[in-house]
């Protein structure tokens, strides 16, 4: 369950922000430019790429929720990742959890091919420690926890301490759990990134990202680079993000309640060989008995929609092998457990019994395992 302070804070975002009208829903400031009272003076707003009143309300709220010094709202989750990695120098040595969103992996690969940075991947705490000891230099560590789609959990506190001991900084992609379930900056991480497209906005109608810095110095660098490179979020999208955040606690509590119950029930299905649920949040992965029957399973589903993405109020099913993780070479992904029998479910806010009934009727397509 969401703690009451976060729930209250979320519901009130943007209220009391317009002294002229008392508007409870924050105004959308579309103006790209702002009058200067006189030479050398500013209202605090000059040009929307740099700072926009609607986006500022959103960014201040996100910084507070993640316990950071400053947040930048970006045009997508990938833009947020690019922004944070952009802070590191040419030739940066980055260690990354291997099981991560395929788009992040694709970007890291591109950086490596370009010669901008080098990446080494780890699957477990032991492998991380092994790598730390083996590499001559560590600029940064990039982590998803739980990982996507295998739901491994890493100990942020321990990894942050070990990263800092080698002079590096820790970046955590907090898309899956949101700050309502995990605040990586309070555990020692230096940066948090999000695909705001997922749980934070939650309605499958907004593409957005968030980058948050812990220290004021890093916050200043982040804001400088965001202004310089220009991937900041538009005013209307910032307003839509604020509007969506107000119900995040309600949505996530319900998604989690549904997911927890489904994860438990799915383990009893003879067509399901493994259920991967990290214990909180709204994401479940599962393995089925016969990958060849997956196309028929996807067609049989009536409530779950076969689509890429996650975190919205509508339940979705994703096939990582061809969708979100299709750009990872087959040998690489299969070696770490992303095999063709794996499906990923994003649980929505529908009635839990309806979701279970839909899965139950569609799972019938798979043969039953002889023994569990």
Q: What residues are labeled active site? A: 49, 101, 173, 198
* Near ligand PLP in 96-135, by CB under 6 A: 101, 103-104
Closest-by-Cβ residue to ligand PLP is 77
Binding flag, residue 144, ligand PLP (CB under 6 A): yes
Instruction: Show Cβ contacts of residue 13 under 8 Å, excluding neighbours closer than 6 positions.
Output: 26, 57, 58, 61, 242, 245, 246
* Residue 282 binds ligand PLP (CB under 6 A): no
Q: How many residues does the chain have?
A: 372
- Tell me: does residue 2 bind ligand PLP (CB under 6 A): no
Among positions 197, 201, 244, 271, the unique one binding ligand PLP when judged by CB under 6 A: 197
**Binding of ligand PLP by 175 (CB under 6 A):** yes
Using CB under 6 A as the binding rule, whether residue 66 contacts ligand PLP is answered as: no
Q: Is residue 237 at the binding interface for ligand PLP, with CB under 6 A as the rule?
A: no
Q: Site for ligand PLP (CB under 6 A): which residue of 14, 68, 77, 168?
A: 77
Q: Is residue 285 within the footprint of ligand PLP (CB under 6 A)?
A: no
Among residues 25, 50, 76, 247, the one that binds ligand PLP under rule CB under 6 A: 76
> Which range, of 21-29, 70-78, 151-159, 217-225, touches ligand PLP by CB under 6 A?
70-78
The CB-of-78 to ligand PLP minimum distance in angstroms stands at 4
Q: Which is nearer to ligand PLP, 92 or 283 (CB)?
A: 283
- Looking at the Cβ atoms of 132 and 213, the one nearer to ligand PLP is 213
Q: Binding of ligand PLP at residue 297 (CB under 6 A)?
A: no
Binding flag, residue 74, ligand PLP (CB under 6 A): no
Q: How far is the CB of 306 from ligand PLP (least distance, A)?
A: 15
- 127: exposed, middle or buried (C-beta count within 10 Å: 0-12, 13-18, 19+)? middle
Residue (102 or 188) nearer to ligand PLP, CB: 102
Residues 6 or more apart whose CB falls under 8 angstroms from that of 247 comprise 10, 202
Closest-CA residue to 142 (of 181, 199, 101, 114):
101
In the complex, what is the shortest distance from the CB of residue 319 to ligand PLP, in angstroms, rounded to a whole number?
14
Q: Does 283 bind ligand PLP (CB under 6 A)?
A: no
Report the sign of the C-alpha dihedral through residues 142, 143, 147, 152, in that order: positive
Q: Does 179 bind ligand PLP (CB under 6 A)?
A: no
Positions touching ligand PLP (CB under 6 A) are 76-78, 101, 103-104, 144, 148, 173, 175, 195, 197, 207, 209
């Amino acid at each position: 369950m969401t703690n009451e302070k976060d729930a209250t804070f979320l519901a009130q975002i943007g209220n009391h922000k317009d002294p002229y009208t008392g508007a409870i829903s924050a105004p959308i400031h579309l103006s790209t430019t702002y009058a200067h009272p006189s030479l050398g003076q500013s209202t605090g707003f000059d040009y929307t790429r740099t700072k926009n009143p609607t986006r500022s309300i959103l960014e201040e709220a996100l910084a507070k929720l993640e316990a950071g010094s400053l947040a930048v709202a970006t045009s997508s989750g990938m833009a947020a990742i690019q922004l944070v990695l952009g802070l590191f120098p040419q030739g940066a040595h980055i260690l990354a959890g291997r099981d991560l969103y395929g788009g992040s992996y694709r970007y890291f690969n591109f950086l490596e091919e370009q010669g901008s940075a080098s990446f080494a991947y780890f699957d477990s705490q032991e492998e991380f420690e092994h790598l730390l000891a083996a590499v001559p230099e560590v600029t940064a560590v990039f982590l998803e926890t739980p990982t996507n789609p295998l739901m491994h959990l890493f100990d942020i506190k321990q990894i942050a301490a070990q990263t800092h001991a080698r002079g590096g900084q820790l970046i955590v992609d907090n898309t899956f759990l949101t700050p309502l379930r995990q605040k990586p900056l309070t555990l020692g991480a230096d940066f948090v990134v999000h695909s705001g497209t997922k749980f934070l906005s939650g309605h499958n109608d907004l593409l957005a990202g968030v980058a948050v810095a812990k220290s004021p110095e890093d916050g200043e660098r982040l804001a400088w680079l965001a202004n310089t490179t220009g991937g900041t979020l538009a005013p209307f999208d910032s307003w839509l993000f604020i509007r969506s955040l107000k119900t995040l606690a309600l949505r996530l509590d319900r998604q989690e309640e549904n997911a927890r119950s489904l994860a438990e029930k799915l383990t009893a299905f003879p067509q399901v060989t493994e259920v991967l649920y990290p214990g909180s949040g709204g994401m479940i992965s599962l393995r089925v008995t016969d990958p060849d029957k997956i196309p028929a399973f996807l067609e049989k589903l009536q409530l779950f929609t076969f689509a890429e993405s996650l975190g919205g109020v509508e339940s979705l099913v994703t096939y990582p092998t061809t969708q979100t993780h299709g750009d990872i070479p087959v040998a690489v992904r299969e070696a770490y457990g992303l095999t063709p029998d794996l499906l990923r479910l994003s649980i929505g806010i529908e009635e839990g019994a309806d979701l279970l009934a839909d899965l139950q009727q569609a799972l019938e397509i798979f043969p039953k395992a002889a023994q569990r």
